[in-house]
Structures are given as C-alpha cells and as structure tokens.
Amino acid sequence: MNRAWAMFKSYPYICNVVGYTTLFATADLIQQSMMGTALHKGTVHKQDEVGFTVTGKAETDALTLYNSEIDSDGRKKSLEEKETLAPVQRVTQLHSIDWAQTARVALVGFCFHANFNYHWLRGLERIFPGGGTKRVLLKVFLDQLIAAPTTISAFYIGLSTLEGADDPLEDWRNKFWTSYKTGVVYWSTMQAVNFSLVPPVARTVYVGGVSLAWTVFLCHFRQQRINTLS
C-alpha cells in the first residue's frame, strides 16, 4: 500500500489516467456480461433424429416436439415412438464479448474522460483549495454544472463517432437528459465524498472507481436502443 501511494505521488498523471481508463473499460465488460446473460436465457439444445445438436428458442422447440407427435396421416404416434424422442435440455449460452466495443469505450475513456477529469479536478482544487462545507458544495455544484454534461456528451458522441454512425448526435439527443438527471443525484453524493475525504493526488482514480457503476449504466442505457432496433 505504501509503495502504491508513493507511486501515485511520484507519477500522479500516469497512475490516475491509466487507472481511470482501466476501470472505464472494465465497466463495459461488466455490462456486456450482464446483458449477455439476460439475452440468452431460455435457449435450448436438443438432438435431432440423426444425433446432431440443434440450438433454438424454447418456444419453437416445444412446438416442434408437439408437431412431431403427429404422423403424416394426422394420427398420434404410439407411446413407444414418443418415448424415443430426444429430451430437450435448457442451457444458457456463453455470451461472447465484443472486444471492439470495449476498445472503443477504453479509447473514449483514455483520450477524453481520464485526461479531462485529471485536469478538471486539479484546476478546481487550485481555484478553490481546501475543504469546508461551503467549498465542497461549491465544487460539487460547478462539477455538475460543467463537467457532468461535458463528460456525458463526450461519451455518447464519441462512441457514435467511432462506430461510424450516420448521425453521431442521435444517441446524445435521445439519452442526454435522462442520463444527466440520473447522474446529478449519483455524482453529487460521490463528488462530495471526493472533495471532502480523498487527497487531491488520487481524486481522478477515485472518480474512475465510482465511474465503474456509472459507466455500466451508461453502456447499458446506450445499448438498449441498438437491441431494440436490431
């Protein structure tokens, strides 16, 4: 712990930026894992008549099994024939991670969010140094007035641009206000703790840690539109 703290003091920029970017990218991996589990519930595997494994939706397989009980003359198959049908097994498919998406999130986090937060928090502390209730409330207010809308906008517009969207502002227009209003409640509390208790040299990486949950929310909120349209 002492060695890590000494490294923070010696290389504050590198430690804060690298730490923030790592946590930012980790949030996308968590979001993808959570979404993948939800998307693949109800997937089933069964064997066809020649022994190959077939994957499909549970509802479709149930209908197929029902129809297979009727022969070409419209009569029910005998009990012996039905007992030979292979059982249907419910399994959860493994969700493959979209590493390209995670790389884009990491790039946005590194190129903008980590650097912006590092310089923003240092500048805020230089202009309004120290603690105290009034100073902390002032810094929280300015953070939510300036930094919050800036970072949220950079997230949506940056990722849309990297994905080559026809309209890079579409996500921003549709999701900004909901994200901002949610973030005001969350970040006001977290930044009050930051400005009150965390040493200035470690504030960026603290924001990165708090951003883990926040970025999971943003990534999931943004992906909702993609999954709805696809």
- List, in order, residues 6 or more apart from 59 with CB less than 8 Å away: none
Element at 56 (helix H, strand E): strand 53-57
Per-residue pLDDT, averaged over 48-62, amounts to 46
Q: For residue 195, count CB atoms less than 10 angstroms from its CB and return exposed for 0-12, middle for 13-18, buried for 19 or more.
A: buried
pLDDT tens digits along 116-131: 999 999 999 999 998 8
pLDDT tens digits along 193-215: 999 999 888 898 899 888 888 98
What residue ranges do the domains of the chain occupy?
2-39+97-229, 43-90
Of 174, 151, 152, 160, the residue nearest 101 (C-alpha): 160
Q: Is the pLDDT of residue 52 over 80?
A: no
Q: What is the dihedral of CA 10, 206, 20, 145, to 10 degrees?
A: -120
Per-residue pLDDT, averaged over 180-191, amounts to 93
Per-residue pLDDT, averaged over 57-62, amounts to 47
CB of 205 closer than 8 Å to CB of 12: no
Distance CA 66, CA 206 (A): 57
Per-residue pLDDT, averaged over 155-184, amounts to 93
Structure tokens at 194: 């930051």
CB of 40 closer than 8 Å to CB of 133: no
C-alpha to C-alpha distances, 223 to 26, 155, 175, 194, 212, nearest whole angstrom: 16, 13, 11, 29, 17
Which of the two residues, 66 and 24, has the higher pLDDT score?
24
Q: Is the pLDDT of residue 62 over 70?
A: no
pLDDT at 75: 54
DSSP-based helix, strand, coil % in the chain, nearest 5: 75, 5, 20
pLDDT tens digits along 133-144: 999 999 999 999
